[in-house]
Structure formats: C-alpha cells, structure tokens
Amino acid sequence: MRLIEVERCENKVVDFVNKLLKQLSTECQPLSEDCINKIINSPNSQLLILIDIDDTYIGMISIGEYHTPSGAKAWIEDVVVDNLYRGRGLGRTMLEMAINHIRAKGIQKVSLTTNPKRIVANGLYKSLGFKLYETNVYKLNLQ
C-alpha cells in the first residue's frame, strides 16, 4: 500500500473522489476538476489517495495544515475507504500513514471530527490515540 499526494488532477482522480464523496455523505456535492485543483494547489491542503500494489485506488484522506500563535496544527478530513475494501484494516493503515506524513512536517497537533453515529470510525480514531475533546464546535454557513 502507498499513500500518495495528488499533485495533478486527472479524470481518474475526479471520478474516484466523487465516488467516495457519495459514500461519505448524501450531502456532498460532486467536485469539478477545478475544485480538486484548488485543493491540490493550495499550500495548506493535501489530498492523499491510498493505492494498492496494482495501482488500484482504495481510499482518500485530506489534510489541512495551519499555523497559529499556539503552534502548527493539522486537521484530517474526508477519511473514506471505498465500500469494496472496507473491513480489512485499510482505514487504519491510511490514517497511520497520514499521521506519519503530518509528523514528518514537524506538526505536533492533529484534530479531526466525526459524527457520533459513526461507531466504527469513532472506535478507529480512539484506537489510534485520538482523545475525545470536549468542546463546542460552531459552524457558520456563509451561503
């Protein structure tokens, strides 16, 4: 398995990302090539794809990083393993690789959020050492 950073937007990437977004949430809208290019061309975000030995796309994860007076931080988003490959520990593999990728950049704090109803995902994050942090997360939709 390899976790590669998408550096060029190809049709295969667009199709795969949109396939996984449908599996992630019914609220996700398909992304255009232009939208994916904005993600991969941003210095503060990375789109990573898990690929097997046969170059089959298995999963995706995105990482946002930012710097504040209290230190460098990363935020993990959009963790999805294709339905065809779930239940094989690949989500764990992908997250471990992503955490190592973040650690190599010298970032020491990593956050993520997930819906409490996602029992398997919550268990995975806890097993990797993520601690449930009691906070109020607020969201403002500017549309």
Q: Residue 98 contacts by C-beta under 8 Å, 6 or more apart in sequence?
A: 3, 48, 61, 63, 76
Q: Give tens-digit pLDDT for 58-90.
A: 999 999 999 999 999 999 999 999 999 999 999
Q: Under a CB-based contact definition with an 8 Å cutoff, are residues 4 and 101 in contact? A: no
Domains and CATH numbers, the chain: 2-127 (3.40.630.30)
Integer CA distances (angstroms), 109 to 6, 78, 90, 130, in order: 23, 18, 23, 10
Model's pTM, two decimal places? 0.88
Q: Check: CB of residue 128 under 8 Å from CB of residue 120.
A: no
* DSSP 3-state of 64: strand
